[in-house]
Structure 1
Amino acid sequence: MELKQNVALSALKGYKNTVIGVIPEDWVVTRLGDVLKIRHGKSQKEVEVINGKYPILGTGGIMGATNTYLYNKQSVLIGRKGTIDKPRFMDTPFWTVDTLFYSEIFENAIPKYLFYNFLLIDWYSHNEASGVPSLNASKIENIKIPMPSTKEEQKSIAQVLTDTDNLIQTIEQKLSKKRNIKQGAMQQLLTPKKDWEVKKLPDVCWFQEGPGLRNWQFTKNGMKVINVTNLVNGYLNLDKTDRHISMKEFENMYKHFEIDENDIVMASSGNSYSKVAVVRKQDLRLLMNTSVIRFKPINGLDYNYLLIFLKSNTFKDQIDLLITGGAQPNFGPFHLNKIDIFLPPTKNEQTKIATILKDMDNEIEQLEEKLSKYKLLKQGLMQNLLTGKIRLV
């Protein structure tokens, strides 16, 4: 099937079976070549200028600028070579290089409707190269999609999806603004003052690195084991975790590595090093692997102040100066023993600072959840609207 769809409507009145799935009876199966022409980009060498009016586009985005456009009408762009699964919609003049196709869209189709169909196509199933992914213009034009019989319905579908995209963009802009505000607040609030004290991290924080478990120790059930891949958006995601060790082995050798509720866990190796998550009651019971370190505040350190510190650039900048490894950086207790933490003179002041930043974190989390919901909504709308499962007329 050309589109990622799992519509089961063949038994319903007003729908029909086709080579690309079940669609409304008044819709048609259309070759892309019947509604658009795939055009090749060109070298930008002769047209590129420093402060041009129009963007020069490649598969990775904007590559430069020009005062000469290659095309000035609405168009759907798709990679010819390299990144082939990131369609782009343009409604302003542009230039594309040779690695990026653009499309000349015919009068019988709404350009934005075609763009949303491009988003549903499994482009890698049309890849023609064993090395760098590549697409062929004629093969693209032979792809079949479902089309409403009227441009009015195409336009209605495109408008709903565009409105949803606009909502997503608004949330993303708010989220970016909130993150920038929080970053500035952290910089201001965590900058040491004259009466602040500097201590080594182990003086106010207990930490423990997970044991070095081996693949042969893992079982299908028993005590669940986490690693860096489970640390997602500040919490643990255990949905796809199937690593365990036997309860007997856990009780005999690893019981002191069991994670507790409210432990702060951190990735200590790989590209995700210094990523932080908080352990919730529903996550338990759990055991750490060697790439995870857990933290607990001691000697009067405020819990949320520690959490904020471990997430801060103040902590990460120090770790970056101490870590070992190139492509796969690593750190452990040896490095953490050398970390400085800057503390207000009273725990009450620590708590006030942590509360301000925690409230900002909560606002960011709410926006992230809202963004995730709208992205899921958009995906569902595309699946339903572009196959006719939901009709707007």
Structure 2
Amino acid sequence: MVDREGYQQTEVGMIPEDWDEITLGEITNLMTNGFVGTATTHYTNAHNGVTYIQGFNVEENSFNFTGIKKIDYAFHKSHQKSCLREGDLLTVQTGDVGLTTIVPKELEGSNCHALIISRFKQKKASPWFYAQYFNSFIGRNRLKELEIGTTMKHLNVGDMLNWKVPLPPTLAEQKAIATALSDVDSLISNLEKLIAKKKAIKQGAMQQLLTGKKRLPGFSGEWEELKLGTLCEFTQGVQIAQSEQLRSTRKGYIRYLYIRDFFTDDFKWYVKDIYPNKIMSSTDIMMVNTGNTAGDVYSGAEGVLSNNAFKIDFDSEKLNRDYLFLNLRSSFAIRQIKEIFNSSGQPHVGHKNIAKINIPIPHSMEEQEAIADTLSDMDKEIEALENKKAKCQQIKQGMMQELLTGKTRLI
């Protein structure tokens, strides 16, 4: 069936008439599993240890070397089937199924664990093209059709060998598509590195500026450490029965601020507006006191605060709001907060204990404000980079949709 001139409808979707649909088995010399079994007894720190790549080391078209292991050479030698070559594709078989990267020259000779290794016939198919295809929205969705298992989804090599994929007619076209998408990957990767660098700089600045170890130009004078309780008052949130909560707003109702909703900014529950002292404004500061996020500080939402957090009011003549907010998120404060967690059960911090933690305060409100502004400017710079990264990712998704289906041709 042809839906438009020059294109054909296939199992892999609409592709140009001069493209083929072909099984992976027809364009690979090898498709096999990495070692499946227990290798922990063969981990080594010896100088001749062999890099051992596992699923958690695989990222989209790249690697995460955090926690990377090495295996002893004897184990590696006895499992040559999973010895890697430059250009091999590594696809996550269980877990984040379908996530794929490509083996660079520096990892040639490594070994791997429970990953699908695809070695392409490089005179016919570009591994860089198929790495992009596997990771695309189209590829990942189609791979889901091959998933088996109930509790833990995984891919079988046999199913992958018979899986049909598009094949542009020339290596030149395949490589041109891969290069165009790889260029965007490089831009995104460089932005990620820059964001990480800026975040590290900000963390260092927080440690210096919020403790007075470094002063901004034009400021001098003494600082002091004060108990939070001498500057702030705490109001516990309120527990409201589920029978009194609504999924949509109506007259006389207001948002109910569950802590979990702060992660998504999606506050879906509403309760009667009869708790005036429990109401948060968008500039108010609140701290979680129960659960895995106990001690975390949030702001920016309006509504009635739930009972697993408390509101922090402060003396605005002695304390700048943004300075306080940043200080409560600093490593100096977090370290003290963690020290007062309860010792059993789920984490919990009461506001009576929070009142005892110290925060360093410059006497000058102008200095507090200047510090907050400096750190806020850093946040704005990071946010701008994050937005640029998100835009690049969106652009790449559009490019993949066009290039990997032949809607837009480069050659």
Shared fold, TM over 0.5 = yes
Alignment of 1:167-206 (within 5 A): 167-191=187-211, 195-206=222-233
Instruction: Tell me how far 1:74 sits from its aligned partner.
Output: 0.3
User: Out of 255, 262, 280, which is 1:224 matched to?
Assistant: 255
Unaligned runs of 5+ in 1: 1-8
Q: SS at 1:121's partner residue?
A: helix
Alpha-carbon displacement from aligned partner over 1:298-348 (angstroms, at most 9, x marks no partner): 242011211210211111111111123767423242332222111112212
Question: Are 2:144 and 1:114 aligned?
Answer: no
Query: What is the rounded CA distance, in whole Å, between the counterparts of 1:190 and 1:261 in structure 2?
Result: 24
Could you give the per-residue CA deviations for residues 235-278 of structure 1, whole angstroms, max 9, x where no partner exists? x723xx42222xxx323xx2332221312344444333444443
Identical positions, percent: 29
Selected match of 2:186 from 159, 166, 175 = 166
The corresponding residue for 1:41 is: 34
Q: 1:208 to 1:59 in 2, by over 3 A?
A: same
Q: Which stretch of structure 1 is more off in the superposition, 217-226 or 48-57?
A: 48-57
| TM-score (structure 2 length as normaliser) | 0.80
What's the TM-score once normalised by structure 1's chain length?
0.84
Is 1:87 aligned to 2:100, yes or no? yes
Match of 1:215 in 2: 242
Which residue of 2 is the match for residue 16 of structure 1?
8
> 381-390 vs 35-44, which deviates more?
35-44
**Alpha carbons of 1:217 and 1:350: their partners in 2 closer, same or farther (altered >3 Å)?**
same
Q: Is the 8 A contact 2:342 2:349 kept in 1?
A: yes
Work out which of the residue numbers 99, 117, 137 in structure 2 matches 1:102: 117
- Tell me if structure 2 keeps the 8 A contact 1:323–1:335: no
Q: Which amino acid aligns with 2:26?
A: D
| Structure 2 equivalent of residue 30 of structure 1 | 22
1:57-108 per-position Cα deviation (integer Å, ceiling 9, x unaligned) = 1112232267778222201101334553432221220423341221111121
Asked if residue 262 in structure 1 is aligned to residue 275 in structure 2, the reply is: no
One-letter code aligned to 2:207: Q
Letter in 2 for 1:13: E
Q: 2:389 aligns with which of 351, 364, 371?
A: 371
Q: Read off the aligned partner of 1:162 and give its amino acid letter.
A: S
Q: Within 2, Cα distance between the matches of 1:367 and 1:149? A: 38
Aligned-pair RMSD on alpha carbons?
2.9
In structure 2, the partner of 1:130 is: 150
Aligned length: 371
1:60 aligns to what SS in structure 2? helix
Structure 1 window deviating more from structure 2 (346-355 vs 162-171): it is: 346-355
Which amino acid in structure 1 is aligned with residue 197 of structure 2?
K
Contact 1:60 1:83 in 2 (8 A): no
The yes-or-no answer on 1:287 pairing with 2:295 is: no
Describe the shift of the 1:270–1:46 C-alpha distance in structure 2 as closer, same or farther (beyond 3 A). Answer: closer
CA distance in 2, matches of 1:170, 1:34: 36
The answer to whether the 8 Å contact 2:49/2:70 transfers is: no
Q: Is the 8 A contact 2:50 2:111 kept in 1?
A: no
Instruction: Specify every segment of 5 or more residues in structure 2 that has no aligned partner in the other structure, as ranges.
Output: 58-67, 214-220
Cα pair distance change 1:171/1:275, threshold 3 Å = farther
- Any conservation in 1 of the 2:279–2:305 contact (CA below 8 Å)? yes
Residue in 2 aligned with 1:3?
Answer: none
SS at match of 1:373: helix
1:332-388: CA deviations, max 9, x gaps?
Answer: 423322221111122122222222222222212222222222222222322332122
Q: Secondary structure at the match of 2:360?
A: strand
Alpha-carbon distance between aligned partners in 2 of 1:325 and 1:218, rounded to the nearest angstrom: 33
Q: What is aligned with 1:242?
A: 268
Aligned match of 2:69: 63
The answer to whether 1:302 aligns with 2:294 is no
